Structure 1
Amino acid sequence: MIEDLVFYTGLSFLIAHELDAVNRHEWKMFPGLSGLADRKGYRLFVLLHVPLLVVIFWLMFHPDRGVRYAFQAIMDVFFIVHAGLHYLLRRHEHNGFTKRFSLLLIGLCSLAGAVHLMLLFAGV
């Protein structure tokens, strides 16, 4: 279904952004991680994504359709809010997401979330 493809596209942009986030040392923007040495910050940042991805994949393929749709809608809102957070933090001293490529990944993730939400509510 088209809405699934749009959701998977948004999630793929988010995962690509997270790969970019490792390169850009995003953990330096998070309280609690920002004070760590690069090696420790990098490792913890990457390891914290493992349980997040487990939950994402588990809910993405949950047998209950209602749970899957609710999860997708929540993720769509996150995709949009996430772009807003990056905008609000654009002047953070450790913000490495200033290049077009990084901003494109964030923006396309947000766009996919908005389109997917519209498709969900339209019942497509």
Structure 2
Amino acid sequence: MTAHAHAPAGEAFADASIPLTLRWQATWEGQEADYSAFANVYPGAVGRIFRYEAGTSQGQWFWSMTADGYDISRNFGDSSGYEPSARRAAKCVEDAWRAAIKGSSLDRAEQRNAYAMAKAGE
């Protein structure tokens, strides 16, 4: 098995070249390597990422698109997997979320606040 590159917990989302649009926050207070994603159009978390700390997947970031409901398809491809960085894993969650809601009543543009737009350079 090859070694996998990963960002230290404090640098989880450091690679700004991968754009993210959902709202990400720590899943558990005090846990730096575990995050959940939220969308304005869904009442709970739409996905989660966390870094494995031991075993054969140590250092890898596991991602999962966890939302379910009438308007959320499961016929879109992968809904979970592993990535070498938190930002790549988060992007997989966001891509899976968008694929799952495509064409449904939840398929609306995320409304971003002024801070998020300024941070993204918009």
TM above 0.5: no
Greater RCO structure (CA 8 Å; 6+ sep) = 1
Answer 1 or 2: which has greater helix percent. 1
Q: Under a length normalisation based on structure 2, what TM-score does the superposition of the two structures give?
A: 0.30
Greater Rg over alpha carbons, structure:
1
Answer 1 or 2: which has greater strand percent. 2
Q: Under a length normalisation based on structure 1, what TM-score does the superposition of the two structures give?
A: 0.29
